[in-house]
Structure 1
Amino acid sequence: MDQIYAYLDGELDRPSQELLKQHLLECPPCVGEYERDLLLKSLLQRSCACEEAPSELRAQILTRISVTVTTVQVTDC
């Protein structure tokens, strides 16, 4: 499901897009999810296109997007 969301948002690289397209050709349950999510995304774009997010919300979202978490794991040799 995460890949369907990423695909709809244009976040997959070309090989991943092709793999997902092939999977959708062979998996009716995933096609149903894809079509539902595509419809929902379209509906949200039409419904919210004329309203701008409050500046505080925009700032919070941009802050969360720009935060990077790095984990370092140390193992004994």
Structure 2
Amino acid sequence: MSCGDHHDTDCSEVLNEVWLFLDGECNQERKALLQQHLDECSPCLQEYGLDEHLKALLHKKCGGEHASAEFKERLRASIRQTVISQGGVTVEVTETRVETQS
């Protein structure tokens, strides 16, 4: 996706990483680039808003249940693989965070 305007960070990159941004799982430099893009790009900001509302709804409806550690690790692995295969980014995994770099 592209809004047609020039941005330092491409629209498709931002949308590929919007959930990492929402979850606070990107490094400060990447977070600043994504935030700058969202401030400049209405279509991406609109998509971000939809994802933000979806996350809030999921939290509200599913917030009382806790996933097992095994399920969380499988989910993290799946997300990492998706980001790597679709986002064209490098993923650095630590114990508690996943950081991406373009």
| Fold similarity call, TM over 0.5 | yes
The structure showing larger relative contact order (alpha-carbon pairs under 8 Å, at least 6 residues apart) is 2
Unaligned runs of 5+ in 1: 67-77
CA-based RMSD of the aligned residues comes to 2.3
**Aligned-residue identity in percent:** 38
Runs of 4+ in 1 over 3 A off after TM superposition: 63-66
TM-score, length basis structure 2: 0.53
TM-score, length basis structure 1: 0.68
Q: Distance in 1 between matches of 2:16 and 2:32?
A: 15
Residue 9 of structure 1 is matched in structure 2 by 23
Q: Judging changes above 3 Å, is the alpha-carbon distance between structure 1 residues 50 and 21 closer, same or farther for their aligned structure 2 residues?
A: same
User: What number of residue pairs does the alignment pair up?
Assistant: 64
Q: Distance in 1 between matches of 2:71 and 2:43?
A: 35
Q: Which has the higher strand share?
A: 2
Bigger Rg, structure 1 or 2: 1
Unaligned runs of 5+ in 2: 1-14, 78-102
Q: Which has the higher helix share?
A: 1
Return the letter of the residue paired with 2:42. Answer: P
